[in-house]
C-alpha cells in the first residue's frame, strides 16, 4: 500500500521537473534567440532610418539637378572665367611678377592637394608678401578681389616686420577651376 507522502513527492517531482526543463530551455536556448531578436529589431530600425534618408534624397533629386543646372548656367554668365586646368608654375610666375611691379617680395608660395567636386575643382594655396601697406592693399585688390581669377581668400594675417613701415602678409585661400565633361 502506498502512502500519501510518496504520492505527494511524485506530484512534487512531476511539477518541478517540467519547470526545471522549461527554465533550462529558456536560459539555455531561447534567451540567446531573444538577444538575436533584439539585435535584429535594432538593425531593422537603423535600416528604416537609412531608407527614409535615402528616399528623401531621391525624392529631391530632380530639384537638385535643376539647381546644379542653374548654378552651371549662372557660372557661365559670370565675368569670371575659371580655368580648365591648374598651371601652378604660371600662377606663381604671375603672382611673382605682380608682386615685383607693386614693390613687394613674394615669400614661399605653396599649393595643397587639388580636391575635385561635381563640376569644379579646388586647389588650396598660401603665400606670403612683404612690403608697405599701400602696396599690399593694391596687390590684393588687383590680383584677388578685382580680378577674373576664380579665387577665394580664407585667411589673411598682417603683422609688422619691425623694419620701418614694412608689413608681412600671409594669405591662404583656394583657386577654382571647371572640370571638363568626361575628364578629371
Q: Residues 118-150: pLDDT tens digits?
A: 778 888 989 999 999 888 888 888 777 766 667
124 compared with 85, residue with greater pLDDT: 124
Residue reference for cell 518541478: 16
Global pTM value: 0.50
**Helix (H) or strand (E) run with residue 9 in it:** helix 4-25
6 compared with 48, residue with greater pLDDT: 48
> Which of 73-87, 115-129, 144-158 has the least mean pLDDT?
73-87
Residue reference for cell 614661399: 108
Average pLDDT over residues 31-43: 84
How high is the pLDDT of residue 79? 46
Rg, C-alpha atoms of the chain: 36
Task: Find all residues with CB under 8 Å of 44, minimum gap 6, and list them.
Answer: none
- Name the band, by pLDDT with cuts 50, 70 and 90, for residue 1: very low
How high is the pLDDT of residue 146? 62
Task: Find all residues with CB under 8 Å of 105, minimum gap 6, and list them.
Answer: 99, 129, 130, 131
Residue reference for cell 613674394: 106
What average pLDDT does the chain have?
81
**Helix (H) or strand (E) run with residue 84 in it:** none
Quick one: what percent of the chain has pLDDT higher than 70?
Answer: 85
Contact present, 95 and 143 (Cβ < 8 Å): yes
Amino acid at each position: 500500500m502506498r502512502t500519501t507522502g510518496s504520492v505527494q513527492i511524485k506530484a512534487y517531482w512531476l511539477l518541478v521537473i517540467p519547470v526545471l526543463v522549461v527554465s533550462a530551455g529558456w536560459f539555455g536556448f531561447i534567451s540567446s534567440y531573444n538577444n538575436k531578436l533584439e539585435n535584429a529589431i535594432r538593425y531593422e530600425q537603423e535600416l528604416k532610418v537609412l531608407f527614409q534618408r535615402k528616399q528623401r534624397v531621391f525624392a529631391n533629386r530632380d530639384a537638385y539637378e535643376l539647381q546644379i543646372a542653374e548654378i552651371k548656367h549662372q557660372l557661365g554668365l559670370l565675368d569670371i572665367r575659371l580655368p580648365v586646368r591648374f598651371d601652378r608654375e604660371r600662377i606663381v610666375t604671375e603672382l611673382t611678377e605682380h608682386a615685383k611691379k607693386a614693390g613687394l617680395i613674394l615669400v614661399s608660395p605653396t599649393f595643397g592637394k587639388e580636391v575635385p567636386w561635381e563640376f569644379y575643382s579646388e586647389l588650396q594655396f598660401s603665400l606670403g608678401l612683404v612690403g608697405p601697406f599701400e602696396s599690399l592693399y593694391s596687390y590684393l585688390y588687383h590680383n584677388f578681389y578685382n580680378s577674373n581669377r576664380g579665387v577665394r581668400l580664407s585667411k589673411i594675417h598682417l603683422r609688422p616686420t619691425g623694419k620701418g613701415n614694412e608689413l608681412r602678409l600671409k594669405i591662404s585661400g583656394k583657386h577654382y577651376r571647371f572640370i571638363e565633361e568626361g575628364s578629371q
